[in-house]
Amino acid sequence: MKRALIVGCGYTGMRLAARLREMDVRVVGTTRRASRGADLAAAGIEPLVGELVAKETLRRIDELGPELVAYLVPPGGEDDPLTLILAATARAPLEAFLYASSTAVYGDRGGDWVDETSMVQPENPEAEARHAAERICVEAAWSYQTPTRICRITGIYGPGRTLKKALESGDYVLIEGHDSWVSRIHIDDLVSGLLAAWTKGGDGRVYNLVDDEPHRASEFANLAADLQRLPRPEWIEESEARERFGEERLRRKLANKRVRSVRLKEDLGVELRYPTYRDGLVAAVSEGRPS
């Protein structure tokens, strides 16, 4: 039986774990909290409880010797554990170390297209940290011969992630004059992309995990509101948005680019279940409703 280590069992990690278990893979998931460990165990995931930088946690990862590592936690500043996890898995019979990065590394392109061959231009501390982590993974490929794959992920939606709470509370707003281009992916297709990056991906390769159709921010939000019988989001002036969000958050909200994934289909052979948000959002809202 193959072994998979999921570092960060949140929304994506839990869905990935479920698919791996269907493939008869032993799944171990990390968590810092014992209470969360009980939730993982209930889902059939072996909990590895402890701080990622702790010697005991790293020892247990080394002993596990996984064939797959999916690293799904965001960068953590000076105490970021990525380098330690890479070292702890250096002796493992790794087939793939998937690093979940972000399409934010491409920066704001004024609505232009980017793909895996586009130069990165991170424009905020979060994106810079993502790109720095990517470089650490590239260095590990040289130092440990780790079969790293960089998975640049866009906005994730799916059951439980349909803007419902933000629309109900009125927290989600649109900004006059800035109906930005956005790329997204349904969680089920994201998991398919991650699994394909493991089984079919190339060492050191970058993969954009996005669907086929970028869209305007208002298009997704309005459809989400209509499907859930909620008011459509309010439009506010940029000056009000700056006061509400602050400069950095506003910059991220206004980021405007269309992301294309050439390799998801051509290299990994993934056929998206939900090629556009129109397909996926209807399914996500329906699945999220109580039966």
- pLDDT single digits (tens) 54-76: 999 999 999 999 999 999 999 97
The answer, yes or no, to whether residue 34 has pLDDT greater than 70, is: yes
pLDDT at position 83 over 80 = yes
In sequence order, what DSSP letters do the residues of 100-155 get, joined into one string?
EEEGGGG---TT-EE-TTSPP---SHHHHHHHHHHHHHHHHHHHT---EEEEEE-E
Answer whether residue 200 shows pLDDT above 50.
Answer: yes
Domains for the chain: give ranges and CATH numbers.
3-157+184-211+260-274 (3.40.50.720)
Residue 22 pLDDT: 97
pLDDT at 258 over 70: yes
* C-alpha torsion angle, residues 60, 64, 69, 75 (rounded to 10): 0
Q: What is the mean pLDDT of the chain?
A: 94
